[in-house]
Structure 1
Amino acid sequence: MTDDESEPRTDGSGTGIVPPDDETPTWRERKERTQGLSRLTYEYFERARREDQDLRQESDYVERDVLGFPAWPHETIRNLSIVSFFVGIIIFLAATLPPHLGGVADPSSTPSVIQPDWYLYWSFGLLKTNPLNPELAILGGQKLMSDSVFGVAVHGPIIGLIALVPFLNKGNARRPVEEPFWAALGVTGVLLSFTLTLLAQYNLFAGQMPLVTTGMFFDLSFILPVVGGLLTYAVLKAMQEGYMYNLNRRYYRLRPPR
């Protein structure tokens, strides 16, 4: 074995361990012999693996410490490689499977079924919440606002709640079982968006469910998310005691208090 074969390689042609920082080539030296994004990506992963190995060997803890890497060049190279991969897939699909262009739209006729994009179905379902629009006796049984205006106004509290969640939940929980309430609230929101999506599409499959009336389907659209949230909270609350006991026992076994 020659001296060149026994030394670790950092140019991507060898399989040795990346040398420490004081022996690692500078960024300019690596750039001079770089041959594209693949070589640069290989060097990034090898460098990150070496730093991770050194930190674990120098650590006093039994379990692995949480590591963080700088944005340049570590995160930048990794994100660039991932983005390039998916952009390449999109370009490949666009070239091999071009979208079909339908007929020319006729502005003088209105389609029989008008639907928004799929990610706005939940918003379209809120426009059909006119049964919740209250009638005030002080106005002679008339509604305070029209059904269309009420459907738009309902968006305010829901979007406002979504915007306030990051400010209200300031805990450091990393798993749903550690915060059952917020986990249940998230499940409720996901189920509500799903049921509102079905409510927006109800007129398309109403004939296939003769036993389910419009009022019953409307009530289920708001009852099922609440039931799902309550069940989630109950299950996570029942699991929390055993989970925290095992977590604390493992924590103090690996990291005894000083």
Structure 2
Amino acid sequence: MTDDTTSDTEDVRTDGSGGTGIVPPDDETPTWSERKQRTQGLSRLTYEYFERARREDQDLRQQSDYVERDVLGFPAWPHEMIRNLALTSFFVGIIIFLSAALPPHIGPPANASSTPAVILPDWYLYWSFGLLKLGFLNPELSLLGDTKLLADRTYGVLANVVIVGFIAIVPFLNKGSARRPVEQPFWAAVGMSGVIFSITIAALSVKNLLPMDSKLLQDLTFLLPFVGAFITYAVLRTMREGYMFNLNRRYYRLRPPK
């Protein structure tokens, strides 16, 4: 009789622990103080998080025949914090390893008595440096005797203000709940055009170093972002219907389309 009861109890366990008790069932979830007393550390807690998430998601799918928006969520503490801590520890370890194995080269000290032939900012500021070189777009007004209303330097500073202001206001314009580019092709195209423009304007900032005609480079600086945005929108728009169905079927058990 004892053997049959034990066998039945072991068969009922569906928590993926194989009877070892690694992942407790729902009614035996330990408190944070009990978790803190464990000596297995981060690896044990991380394993419990992923195993418990897998089991609860599987139970939800088995119980739901047709659910329009049946989303499984987990609390931020300790579930999400444990996962984020594991991922952060991994990437920090990679950075420390690379910094130890491949230390950066330190060049000779700068000579304060001589001016370099080419003066450039750090590479991640090339786009801002390129906006300072938009003097060819600064119009000359005939009413002012064919002189410019603003100096080229002031015009470049205003261009930085406009571009940075547009980047800052985009999150307030796009208030949707989409998390993937295919869900909102328009805003994905806007983002792609911004990325391409940052690259082309950076190339314009170092036009003296590029073997390309300056007029052609100026045209490509403003033409390529629109071309990239159009291609991005067209591609995402064509794949949106099939991709969205496969994505939702994976998460929400939807009926197939008729």
TM-score normalised by L of structure 2: 0.78
Q: Which residue of 2 aligns with 1:209?
A: none
Q: Are 2:22 and 2:48, in contact at CA under 8 Å, matched by a contact in 1? A: no
For residues 221 and 236 of structure 2, the distance between their equivalents in structure 1, rounded to whole angstroms, comes to: 24
Matched, 1:36 2:41: yes
Q: Are 1:48 and 1:74, in contact at CA under 8 Å, matched by a contact in 2? A: no
Q: Flag the structure with more relative contact order, 1 or 2, with Cα contacts below 8 A and sequence separation at least 6.
A: 2
Q: Are 1:52 and 1:67, in contact at CA under 8 Å, matched by a contact in 2? A: yes
Q: Which residue of 2 aligns with 1:243?
A: 241
Shift in Å, 1:165:
1.6
Query: Which moves more between the two structures, 55-64 or 221-230?
Result: 55-64
Q: Which residue of 2 aligns with 1:225?
A: 225
Matched, 1:143 2:135: no
Q: Which residue of 2 aligns with 1:111?
A: 116
Q: 1:73 aligns with which of 49, 70, 78?
A: 78
Q: How does 1:120-139 map to 2 (within 5 A)?
A: 120-139=125-144
Shift in Å, 1:175:
4.9
For residues 234 and 35 of structure 2, the distance between their equivalents in structure 1, rounded to whole angstroms, comes to: 56
Q: Which residue of 1 aligns with 2:254?
A: 254
Residue type at the aligned position of 2:159: V
Shift in Å, 1:151:
1.0
For residues 41 and 17 of structure 1, the distance between their equivalents in structure 2, rounded to whole angstroms, comes to: 12
Q: Which residue of 1 aligns with 2:173?
A: 168
Q: Secondary structure at the match of 2:33?
A: helix
Alignment CA distance shift 1:234-1:92 (3 Å): closer
Shift in Å, 1:136:
1.5
Q: How does 1:73-92 map to 2 (within 5 A)?
A: 73-92=78-97
Q: 2:201 aligns with which of 196, 199, 206?
A: 196
Q: Are 1:56 and 1:65, in contact at CA under 8 Å, matched by a contact in 2? A: no
TM-score normalised by L of structure 1: 0.78
Q: Which residue of 2 aligns with 1:20?
A: 25
- Aligned residue pairs: how many? 244
Q: How does 1:88-107 map to 2 (within 5 A)?
A: 88-107=93-112
Q: Which residue of 1 aligns with 2:210?
A: 205
Residue type at the aligned position of 1:158: I
Segments of 5+ residues of structure 2 without an aligned counterpart are: none
For residues 254 and 176 of structure 1, the distance between their equivalents in structure 2, rounded to whole angstroms, comes to: 21
Q: Secondary structure at the match of 2:119?
A: coil
Segments of 5+ residues of structure 1 without an aligned counterpart are: 207-211
Q: Secondary structure at the match of 1:254?
A: coil
Shift in Å, 1:14:
7.4
Matched, 1:58 2:67: no
Identity percentage over the alignment? 65
Shift in Å, 1:64:
8.4
Q: Are 1:56 and 1:64, in contact at CA under 8 Å, matched by a contact in 2? A: no
Alignment CA distance shift 1:186-1:51 (3 Å): same
Shift in Å, 1:47:
2.4
Deviation per residue, 1:104-147 (Å, 9 max, x gap): 22222221122222222211111111100111222211111211
Residue type at the aligned position of 2:142: A
Shift in Å, 1:29:
2.7
Query: Which moves more between the two structures, 137-146 or 51-60?
Result: 51-60
Shift in Å, 1:23:
2.3
Alignment CA distance shift 1:24-1:127 (3 Å): same
For residues 203 and 27 of structure 1, the distance between their equivalents in structure 2, rounded to whole angstroms, comes to: 61
Alignment CA distance shift 1:88-1:204 (3 Å): same
